[in-house]
Amino acid sequence: MADSENQKFCLQEVLESFKSCLSPEKEIYIEHYVSGWRGLVKLLNSLGSLFGFISKDAVSKTQILMNFLKSENGPHYATVQSMVKFELDNELVDVDKKGIYPESGCRTLLRLHRALRWLQLFLERLRTSKEDDKTSVMCRDAYNESLAQHHPWLIRKSAGVAFYSLPVRLAFFEVMNVGTPEQVVDVLGKAVPLLCEVYQITEELYQKHNLHDLP
Collapsing DSSP to helix, strand or coil, 54 comes out as: helix
> Does position 184 bind ligand 1PX by CB under 6 A?
no
Label residues 29-52 b or e (16+ Cβ within 10 Å = b): bbbbbbbbbbbbbbbbbebeeebe
Tally of CA atoms within 13 A in the half-sphere of 98 that contains its CB: 8
Stretch that binds ligand 1PX, among 28-36, 92-100, 109-117, 203-211 (CB under 6 A): 109-117
Applying CB under 6 A, does 195 fall inside the site for ligand 1PX?
Answer: no
Exactly one of 18, 143, 173, 206 binds ligand 1PX (CB under 6 A); that residue is 143
- Closer residue to ligand 1PX (CB): 11 or 28: 11
The residue (of 23 and 67) whose beta carbon lies closer to ligand 1PX is 67
Q: Does 139 bind ligand 1PX (CB under 6 A)?
A: yes
Report the distance separating Cα 27 and Cα 79, nearest Å: 6
Stretch that binds ligand 1PX, among 26-34, 52-60, 78-86, 202-210 (CB under 6 A): 52-60
CA distances 119 to 3, 50, 104, 122, 191, Å, are 24, 18, 23, 5, 10
**155 contacts ligand 1PX (rule: CB under 6 A):** yes
